[in-house]
Amino acid sequence: MDAAHEPTEPTRMSVDLCAICAHPDDAELAMGGTLAREAARGRRVALVDPTRGEAGSRGTPEIRAAEALAAARVLGAAHREALGLPDARLTATPEARDTVVEAMRRLRPRVVLLQHWEQRHPDHAAASRLVYDAAFVAGLRSYRPELGAAFRPAKLVYALPTTEDPTVAPSFVVDITETFDTKMRAIAAFASQFVPGPGESADLPLDRFREHMELAARRQGQRIRVRYGEAFVTREPVEVQDLLALGGSSF
C-alpha cells in the first residue's frame, strides 16, 4: 500500500461500513449476509483483511487474493484490501495497530464490523483487539498525522462466531433471509478452501459446509422469528428512539 495518504489527500474515500476480520473469508462467514444486505440498500461497504491468510494449507496467496476480490463483488462491496500483517501470528502490537489506523483514517467508516473478542483462533481474538484499539487511537488528533487525519467510527459492532456454540447472547440479530444465498455464493468464491490439499482428505466439501452455515443462520434467525440471521454484540447498549419501531417479537 502506498504512503501517499496525507491528511489533506483528496483520495480519501468515505464508506458507510467496513468489515475488518483476521483472514479473507472470515467476514463472509460471520457477517456476509449483513454486508450483502447493507450493500443492496445502497450503502458503501468495504472489507479490510489484516492478513492474506497465507498460513492456511489450502490455496496460494495469489489464488486467495483473487477469491477475496470475487467474494467482495458477490457481496456488492465497494472496496476490499489486505493489509499484509502476519497470518497465524497476528498480534495487537503498536506497529500492527498503526497499519489498521491508517486504513481506518483513509476509509472513514461510520460503522466498523469486527470479530467478537472471545474466539478460539488466536488471530481472531487478536484482530478483535487490534481493531478495537485502532478505532480509538485513530481518533487522537495529535497521533501520527502522517497516517491520515484523525477519525473515529461511530460504532463498533462485533459479530458472533458461527463455528462455535453461541454462548454469548447477541445484542441484536440482523435478518439475512433475503441475502443468505448471496452469503453462500460469496463463501463459495473461496473455492480453494473447499479442495483438499496434498495429503488431506475431503473433510469439508461445500455442501456439508453449507449445512453447517445454514444451521448457524437458522439458530440466530430463530431468535428473531425469521428464517436466517446473523448475530452481533455491542459493548454499549443500543440506543432506542422509538419503542414502536423495535424489531422482533416477544412471542
Q: Which is nearer to Zn ion, 23 or 44 (CB)?
A: 23
CA distance 128 to 130: 5
Question: Smallest distance, Å, CB 115 to Zn ion?
Answer: 8
Q: Which is nearer to Zn ion, 147 or 187 (CB)?
A: 187
Buried b (16+ CB within 10 A) or exposed e, 19-42: bbbbbbbbbbbbbbbbbbbbbeee
What 3-state DSSP class applies to 51?
strand
Which residues from 42-101 bind Zn ion, rule CB under 5 A?
none
Among the listed ranges 18-26, 62-70, 98-106, 200-208, the one in contact with Zn ion (CB under 5 A) is: 18-26
Q: Which residue has the cell 470475487?
A: 70
Q: Which is nearer to Zn ion, 27 or 184 (CB)?
A: 27
Q: Is 23 in the site for Zn ion (CB under 5 A)?
A: yes
Non-local CB neighbours of 170 within 8 Å, separated by 6+ positions: 160, 220, 223, 231, 232, 233
CA distance 17 to 240: 20
Among the listed ranges 24-32, 195-203, 208-216, 228-236, the one in contact with Zn ion (CB under 5 A) is: 24-32
Count residues binding Zn ion (CB under 5 A). Answer: 3
Question: Smallest distance, Å, CB 124 to Zn ion?
Answer: 6
Question: Smallest distance, Å, CB 240 to Zn ion?
Answer: 33
